Every structure is written in C-alpha cells, then in structure tokens.
Homo-oligomer: A and B are copies of this chain.
Amino acid sequence: MKSELDFVNYLKNIKTFNKNIIEGIGDDCAIIKFSSRKKYVITSDTSLLGPHFSKDYTPEEIGHKSLATNLSDIASMGCVPLYALYDITIPRISESWIKRFFDGTRKLLNQHKVSIIGGDTTKGPMSISITLIGVQKNKILTRSGAKTGHDIYVTGNIGSARAALILDKKTKGYKYFRKSLVMPAPRVAVGLELSEFASSCIDISDGLAKDLKSIAISSKKGFQVDVDSIPTDPKFDIYVEGNLKEQCILGGGEDYELCFTANKKYYRKINNISNKYNIKITRIGAIKSTGYRYSLNNKQYNPKVTGYDHFKGK
C-alpha cells in the first residue's frame, strides 16, 4: 500500500451490501439511489493544518476553503449541493474562532443554498472533515465517460494555487496568488451546465497531470495535451520562474478548477457557458485511444511531475 490509489483499491475490495450503490469508492463522490426518481452524490474530505492550510489562514479562510474543496467535488459530478455535516476538531474552543470560521463558510453555504444538517465538535489538533450531499440535475458526470476524439477543457487558470505554495511568502508573487490558494471558487454553476452534455469531468485538486490521468484510466483511454495551451494567470510568467512553471501547471493541485471532456460539437455551447458565467474555459487537448502524451513548442514532451498524493504527503 504505497499510494493513495493502493488505499482506494484496498477499500474497494471491502464487501458492500446494497444494490442502490451506483458508484462506490473511486470517483470524486459516491452515487447512491435513494429514490426511484433521483440519484444523490456524497463526498467527504478532511482539511488539516499542514497539508491543506497553514498558520497564516484566518478562521474565515479556513471556513471558506474547507467547504469549497468539498463543493468542488459536487461541482465535478455536475450536481446540486444540498446538505453538509461538519466534524470540527480545534485545540481550544474559542467562540470568536468558531464564529469567524462559520462567517467564512456561511457565504458559500448561502451562495449555493447548502444546509448544515449535522456534525460534531471535539477538542484536539485542528482538523475539519466535511461531508456533503448533492443531487443530480441532469446526467451525473464521472471520470469514466471520455471517448476517443473528445476535446479536453479546463475552467479558469491553472497553476495559481501551486504558485502561492511554492513562492516565498515575502514575495509580491505570493501575495498576488495567495487568494487563488486560500479562497478557491468551486465551479458549481459551470458543472451543472456541463451535466447536460460533458462526457467526463474531474476537479483539479491533485494537479492537472494526475487528475487528467484519472479520467484517462477510468475511461480506458489516452490523451494528447498541448502544454502551451494550458491557461495561466496573466501575471504567471512574471512571478513564476521557468523551472517551476511545469510543477505549478501540471504537478500543482488545489486549483479546484474543472477538467472535462466533451464531443467537438459542443464547442459553441461551451463558449456560451464561458460567456454566461464570465469564466474562462479553454481547450487544452483531445482524448486519444491510448497513451498519455504532452507537447510543448510543437514537440512531444515528458513532464517530470506526477501530482499530489495525500497518502504520501507529496
């Protein structure tokens, strides 16, 4: 058991009992058939001091980010978030900390009309586990529907969150990119639009290279990505030095943008969604029958990065 994937595979082999589990472990959310009419998606994630946030985060920022990362999992399935359960562990019970945490989380709850239905508070090393339940609107998007020839798209800019993690906290670059790392905007509205026609979708939490590979593996396909076409922030090239760029764009995680695939015929529709929400959506490559291929300056290229593994902590 050397990686997160080994662990996921270990869990997958534990016996399940219920015919209403449409998808168990392995995608961004599980899919459960609670009723004959609608399927629901469920996800649960832990945010910790260290891997997920650092000491300079305000309580409001922790409240925002810990919910945003879970909302992003619902967004990647193209579903409507509904209910949240909060398991909060904090070293010292401080009323002002709790209120500030929930001030940060509440803005997102209200924006997406999510209701807190339960949870638990305990005293200990800081840890926030949030379980989120959502419901399908159209098709539920998974990692496994990509077809050969489908285009690969990403929302927003890629690499900004990783840039903030890599850059020295005293630099202008860190200050510029900090918001992308600390206050990600989950792409729920775009995910819901995509649920009408996208063939697969994932949120970029572990790095584009790793997350796109997850789509390829689940869909039993390959891909060709043009690294030059991956969109970055206008100031990315100013603040991030050459040798760190690849790590930010392909290896970095925590952008919480969506990476999805769609038949070419939806190009105009995707353009309209981009305009409607004022969110950049960029074609970065295409699904191939086999192989994980990248090009840079029109030449085949082998990335050196593999993506974040929560299991190994790197």
Q: Which of A146-154, A174-182, A222-230, A306-314 faces chain B?
A: A306-314
- Contacts A51-B123, A98-B10 hold; do A117 and B35 have CB atoms under 8 A apart? no
Interface residues on chain A, size class? 35 or more
Interface contact A93-B127, CB-CB below 8 Å? no
A101 to B17, CA, bound (A): 20
Question: From residue 12 to 55 of chain A, which have CB atoms closer than 8 A to chain B?
Answer: 14-18, 21, 24-25, 29-30, 32, 34-38, 40, 42-46, 48-52
Residues of B within 8 A of A133 (CB): 32, 42
A123-147 vs B, CB cutoff 8 Å, 1 = contact: the mask equals 1110101010100000000000000
Beyond the given A10-B98, A14-B106, could you list 8 further A-B residue pairs with CB under 8 A, ordered by the A residue number? A1-B93, A16-B116, A17-B114, A24-B118, A32-B133, A42-B83, A48-B124, A93-B311
Of B37, B118, B123, which one neighbours A44 at CB under 8 angstroms? B118
**A310 with B17: CB separation less than 8 A:** no
CB distance from A38 to the nearest CB of B (A): 8
CB of A101, distance to nearest CB on chain B (Å) = 11
Which chain B residues border A313 with CB–CB below 8 Å?
A: 123
Residue of B nearest to A119 (CB): B44
A300 contacts the other chain (CB 8 A): no
Residue from A17, A40, A102 with most neighbouring chain B CB atoms (10 Å):
A17
- Residues 266-314 of A contacting B (Cβ, < 8 Å): 310-313
A139 CB to nearest B CB, Å: 19
CB-CB nearest in chain B for A35: B35
A10-B98, A115-B16, A125-B127 known; A89-B48 Cβ under 8 A: yes
Q: Are B311 and A121 in contact (CB under 8 A)?
A: yes
Knowing A35-B37, A106-B14, A129-B129 are in contact, say whether A93-B44 is a contact too (CB < 8 A). Answer: no
Chain B residues near A121 (CB-CB < 8 A): 4, 7, 310-311
Rounded to whole Å, the gap between the CB of A298 and the closest CB of chain B is 40
Known: A4-B121, A24-B118. A127 touches B89 (CB 8 A): yes
Does A188 make an interface contact (CB < 8 A)?
no
Q: How many angstroms from the CA of A28 to the CA of B130 in the assembled complex?
A: 17
- How far apart sit A254 and B60, CA to CA, in the bound complex (Å)? 34
- A102–B51 CB distance below 8 A: no
Interfacial residues of chain A within 63-100, with CB under 8 A of chain B in the complex: 82-83, 85-87, 89, 93, 95, 98-99
Chain B residues, Cβ within 8 Å of A86: 11, 44
Q: Which residues of B contact A114 (CB under 8 A)?
A: 17
